[in-house]
Amino acid sequence: MLRVLMFLVPLALSVYAFIDCISTKDEDIRYMPKPLWAILVLVFPLAGSLSWLIAGKKRHPAGAGGPAGSAGSPWRRGGGQRWVAPDDNPEFLKSLKDEDEDKKDQDKKDGGEDPTA
């Protein structure tokens, strides 16, 4: 069993590192171009994988803003990235209110009665 693990762990590590390497955006790769990193991971599975995981990719600290954590977004509170439930998101609540008002206006135009009144 130990012999199998000694084979499977480096294989899994190299597969993970290779997939991570080819799926990483070019601007997030450090020191070498992406094809060279991929070749390094394939030719030297253990050393290349460890090198990629340690030095090849720019690591973003936890809580760093991404596309959903931009400065004016309601998703970002207190300086870190934090997801807010939809019922606490003012933009989402406003969109629901606007949809409800549009539906009431449409019902009035159609001549129907408002079932909520």
Q: What is the pLDDT along the chain (117 residues), one digit of tens a residue?
A: 788 888 898 899 999 999 988 888 888 888 888 889 889 989 998 898 898 888 887 776 655 554 444 444 444 444 555 676 777 777 888 888 888 787 787 777 777 555 555
Long-range contacts of 52-57 (CB under 8 A, 24+ apart): 52/17, 52/20, 52/21, 53/17, 53/20, 55/30, 55/31, 56/21, 56/29, 56/30, 56/31, 56/32, 57/20, 57/21, 57/24, 57/28, 57/29, 57/30
